[in-house]
Amino acid sequence: MTHGCQQRIEITVRPADRPGDLGWVVTAHGETYAQQFGWNSDFEALVATIVGDYATDHDPSREAAWIAEVDGERVGCVFLVAGDEPGTARLRVLLVTPAARGLGIGTRLVEQCLAFARQVGYRQVVLWTNDLLVSARRIYQAAGFTLVDEQPHHSFGHDLVGQTWSLPLPQHRQGGAADGSAG
């Protein structure tokens, strides 16, 4: 994938419903986080569990996953699944491959996720991440998420600081316009 100034690239965000999409999510996470942060296969196993749970038991009326592509090549993903509390959804496994970063793909994936969450009536979206994922944190903050908890933990072969972020979703009645506020 090359991104020259003379060449126009095509970015698409589509449902993660093609053969190979779910396997790509697991592989891309495992490889990217091992290369970038030295995380061990425990992280890939966590992602495989999240993806496997989605693949075998998701409710398509309330849960969805998306793949971002640049010129037909997979470069990113995000999932939205039901949370533990009624009315709460969880944003999961956001990833943009290093070669595709800086193109606004992470923002587009999060926007797609939040639009779906609003459409199906969730009142809140939460996510868990680690503080060293600075670029992802900037995307979450720009979308209006706020940090609600931080806990140190030892996972994936490293001492990390886990973070929980939350975004209340204003409930709009049919015909009402979104005011753009983060709530």
135 found inside a domain? no
CA distance 89 to 131: 21
Structurally, the chain folds into a number of domains equal to: 1
Using one digit for the tens of pLDDT, what is the confidence trace for 7-31? 788 999 999 999 999 999 999 999 9
63 found inside a domain? yes
148 found inside a domain? no
Which of 180, 181, 165 lies closest to 94, judged by CA? 165
139 found inside a domain? no
Q: What is the model's pTM?
A: 0.88
CA distance 169 to 154: 32
User: Tell me, what CATH number does 25's domain have?
Assistant: 3.40.630.30
Per the structure, the complete domain to which residue 107 belongs is given by 11-127
176 found inside a domain? no
Using one digit for the tens of pLDDT, what is the confidence trace for 142-176? 999 999 999 999 999 999 999 999 999 987 654 43
| pLDDT higher than 90, residue 1 | no
